[in-house]
Amino acid sequence: MPNHRSGAGDPARTLRLLWRQPDETPRRGPRQGYSLDDIVTAAIELADTDGLDAVTMRAVAQAVGVAPMTLYTYVPGKAELLDLMLDASYARMPRPDRSGEPWRARVAALAEDNRKLFAAHPWAAEVGTGRPPLGPGLMAKYEYELRAFDGTGLDDVQRDAALTYVLDFVRAAARAAAEARLARRESAWSDEQWWAANAPLLARVLDAQRYPTAVRVGAAAGAAQNAAYSPEQAYEFGLARVLDGLGVLVDGA
């Protein structure tokens, strides 16, 4: 399991699972003791509480209450399970009617909805979606989010590109936040310990002659963020820029 990706395996089988289309041939043998949703729900709970790395086939199986290999009668493999987890999370997102608001507010809300998704399910930002799971959750999400650009005058191609742009931004911000969190948790060195251990060498090596701008700006940014990097502030700054950039496209330069 080199990386966490999605969309391997027989695509038709995956699609049938996503849309919960059972095989039409009558099933012989014993009934399955659990449902696909049981598996997916257990996996999502595991990922929410302990992170994506905790989602091993053995752990999911134990959470459900079956032997590891039993999972393979519900799901072709781990990649498909990730697809199903992602699509289920998409399906559960709230989709209030915002047709009365101006487009800028709608797009900001779109970003916020996705930020909340990644806040509730940090693992969702990590799953690579080279080929996204074309399930009912993603379709409902796509349909809903495209509407945020109603009334902007963008054509269909621009509309898709604009949505992709916003979503990619939020996802990148969520990834950065997750990485920062992970670094803190896993390293066994707190930020203070880290700086205390590094300060002597850094002081010797980062002379302001050689890196004048970097030292000055880095100090100012570090002071403003109370850390070397603040995911929240990066998100806020970035979102304002994203909206401004789309504004130029929409309102004309």
**From its own copies, DNA, none, interface partner of 34 (C-beta below 5 to 8 A by class):** DNA
**From its own copies, DNA, none, interface partner of 30 (C-beta below 5 to 8 A by class):** DNA
How far apart CA 179 and CA 185 sit, in angstroms, is 10
Bridge partners (DSSP) listed for residue 128: 5
55 touches DNA (CB under 7 A): yes
203 touches its own copies (CB under 8 A): no
How far apart CA 218 and CA 229 sit, in angstroms, is 10
**Among 40, 49, 31, 26, which Cα is nearest to 71's?**
40
179 touches its own copies (CB under 8 A): yes
CB-hemisphere CA count at 13 Å for 55?
30
How far apart CA 247 and CA 164 sit, in angstroms, is 16
**From its own copies, DNA, none, interface partner of 220 (C-beta below 5 to 8 A by class):** its own copies
Query: Residue 252 has what DSSP assignment?
Result: -
Nearer to its own copies, 112 or 244 (CB): 244
Work out how close the CB of 139 gets to its own copies at its nearest, in angstroms, rounded to a whole number. Answer: 5
**From its own copies, DNA, none, interface partner of 33 (C-beta below 5 to 8 A by class):** DNA
Nearer to DNA, 26 or 130 (CB): 26
